[in-house]
Amino acid sequence: MNPSPAETVGVYCSRCDVRVAAKVTASHIDYSAASSLLRRRAADDSEVTLYSIATCPGCSSVFLTRRSFSEIPGEFTASREDPEVLYPSPARPELGDLPEFVRRSFTDAARLYTGGIYGACVGKCRQCLAAVCQEQGAPPDGILEQLTDLRKRDVIDGKLLSWANELLLSCDERGESHVDQESARAMLEFVEAVVLYVFSVQARFERFEKLRGGVRTP
């Protein structure tokens, strides 16, 4: 499919460190998600997926994006979601084995940040923190209160709680509708630190303790 000369897609360019309107150079529409019946009946609503290759106007970096639409051919096309950047994928450390809801929330937050949708990214970060707290048995309450409970039970350390105090206060003062890139990045990095500490660092330390416990000195 040949895009129009003015067609662009909004993405975050890590090289330019800013959200850009990348110029679409090629695109492809995938109708496989729609049933064969819906494809035969033009009057029915069906789901289509648009894949686009685009380049940054500043540094010429290449992006591959995917976006889903609801479509009634000849009548209307409505986007179901924001573009997902498939390439380049955001570089994030290996998070290990996570509860599915925690992993999904964190992945969505990272994807929103990559797409430059910073307010929604912070919202997903909060959702991920709530999932971590629930998974660790914190009572239903505000996120800061739940993290305080985790600190009291040594699930997280004092530095993470201090970080949470300053970061959440700053985000609350701004509101999700006024979140900038720096604030979203800070929130995502904090959530990443919490997830790594709770589900990866602790697990590795416990394995080390078991191994050390099995060693007997003569």
Q: How many Å from the N-terminal Cα to the C-terminal Cα in the chain?
A: 73
CA–CA gap between residue 127 and residue 137 (Å, rounded): 15
Closest CA to 148 of 137, 159, 161: 161
Which range of residues forms the domain containing residue 198? Answer: 100-213
DSSP bridge pairs for 152: none
* pLDDT score recorded for residue 115: 75
Residue 208's pLDDT is: 76
Q: How many domains does the chain have?
A: 2
209 token code pair? 């303790």
pTM value?
Answer: 0.59
In the chain, where does DSSP find H-type helix? 36-40, 100-114, 118-135, 143-152, 158-174, 181-196, 202-213
Q: Is residue 3 part of a domain?
A: no
Is there a single domain that holds both residue 77 and residue 107?
no
Q: Are residues 49 and 152 in the same domain?
A: no
Give residue 144's pLDDT.
92
pLDDT given for residue 114 in this prediction: 78
Q: Are residues 140 and 61 in the same domain?
A: no
Using the 3D structure, point to which of 34, 56, 87 is the last residue of a domain.
87
pLDDT tens over the chain, length 218 residues: 555 667 898 888 878 878 889 999 999 888 765 444 444 444 455 677 889 999 999 999 999 988 877 766 665 455 656 677 888 876 555 566 788 899 889 988 988 887 778 889 999 999 999 999 999 999 988 999 999 999 999 999 999 999 998 888 777 666 666 788 888 889 999 999 999 889 877 767 777 777 777 544 44
Max Cα separation, the chain?
82
Q: How far apart are CA 189 and CA 100, in angstroms?
A: 19
